[in-house]
Amino acid sequence: MSSPLHRIVIKVGTILLTHGGKELNRERMADLVRQIAVIREQGLQVVLVSSGAVAAGANAGVPYPSGKGIPVRQILAAIGQPLLMRTYAELFAPYGVAVAQALFTRTELERDGYLNARNTLLGLLEAGVLPICNENDVVAVAELQQIGDNDTLSALVANLVDADLLAILTDIKGLYTSDPRNNASATHVPVVESITREVENMAGGAGSSASIGGMATKIKAARMATAAGTNVVIGQGTVPDVILAIAAGEQVGTRFASKISRTKSLRDAWMASDLARGHRIIVDAGAASALLKNGRSLLPAGIIAVEGTFSRGDTVEIRAANGDAFACGLVNYPSDDLRKIMGKNSSKIATLLPESFGDEAVHRNNMVFL
Ligand code: GLU
235 class by beta-carbon count within 10 Å (0-12 exposed, 13-18 middle, 19+ buried): buried
Rounded CA separation 45/264 (Å): 22
Predicted confidence at residue 208, as pLDDT, reads 43
Q: Is the pLDDT of residue 114 over 90?
A: no
CA of 234 to the centre of ligand 1 (A): 17
Domains of the chain: 7-269 (3.40.1160.10), 278-369 (2.30.130.10)
- Which ligand 1 atom sits closest to the C-alpha of 151? 9
Q: Are 332 and 286 in contact (CB under 8 A)?
A: no
Q: Residue 137 CA to chain centroid, in angstroms?
A: 17
For ligand 1, is residue 137 a contact (CB within 6 Å)? yes
The residues that bridge with 315 in the sheet, in sequence order, are 330
CA of 219 to the centre of ligand 1 (A): 17
Q: Are 169 and 52 in contact (CB under 8 A)?
A: no
Predicted confidence at residue 210, as pLDDT, reads 40
Ligand 1 test: best mutation among 11, 84, 150, most atoms within 8 Å of CB?
A: 150
Q: What angle do CA 293, 115, 342 make, to 5 degrees?
A: 55
Percent of the chain surpassing pLDDT 70: 91
pLDDT digits (tens, 9 = 90+) for 166-206: 999 999 899 999 888 888 888 999 999 998 888 888 887 54
Distances (CA, A) of 315 to 55, 306, 334: 39, 13, 11
Rounded CA separation 240/238 (Å): 6
205 class by beta-carbon count within 10 Å (0-12 exposed, 13-18 middle, 19+ buried): exposed
Mean pLDDT (the chain) is: 89
pLDDT digits (tens, 9 = 90+) for 334-361: 999 999 999 999 999 999 999 899 999 9
For the chain, state the CA radius of gyration: 22
Identity of the residue numbered 100: A
Nearest to 170 by CA among 209, 122, 218: 218
Predicted confidence at residue 209, as pLDDT, reads 40
pLDDT digits (tens, 9 = 90+) for 228-260: 889 999 999 999 999 999 999 999 999 999 887
Q: Is the pLDDT of residue 212 over 60?
A: no
Rounded CA separation 58/23 (Å): 8
Q: Which residue has the higher pLDDT, 253 or 3?
A: 253
- Which ligand 1 atom sits closest to the C-alpha of 56? 10
Predicted confidence at residue 87, as pLDDT, reads 97
Mean pLDDT, to the nearest integer, of 131-145? 84
CA of 149 to the centre of ligand 1 (A): 6
> Around Cβ 240, how many Cβ atoms within 10 Å?
8
Ligand 1 test: best mutation among 212, 217, 218, 220, most atoms within 8 Å of CB?
A: 212
> What is the pTM assigned to this prediction?
0.85
Query: Which of 190-199's residues contact partners 24+ apart within 8 Å by CB, and which partners?
Result: 190/251, 190/253, 190/254, 190/255, 191/254, 191/255, 191/256, 191/257, 192/222, 192/254, 192/255, 192/256, 193/257, 194/259, 195/219, 195/222, 195/223, 195/226, 195/256, 199/175
For ligand 1, is residue 13 a contact (CB within 6 Å)? yes
The residues that bridge with 298 in the sheet, in sequence order, are 362
CA of 351 to the centre of ligand 1 (A): 43
Q: How far apart are the first and last CA of the chain?
A: 24
For ligand 1, is residue 213 a contact (CB within 6 Å)? yes
Nearest residue CA, atom 5 of ligand 1? 51
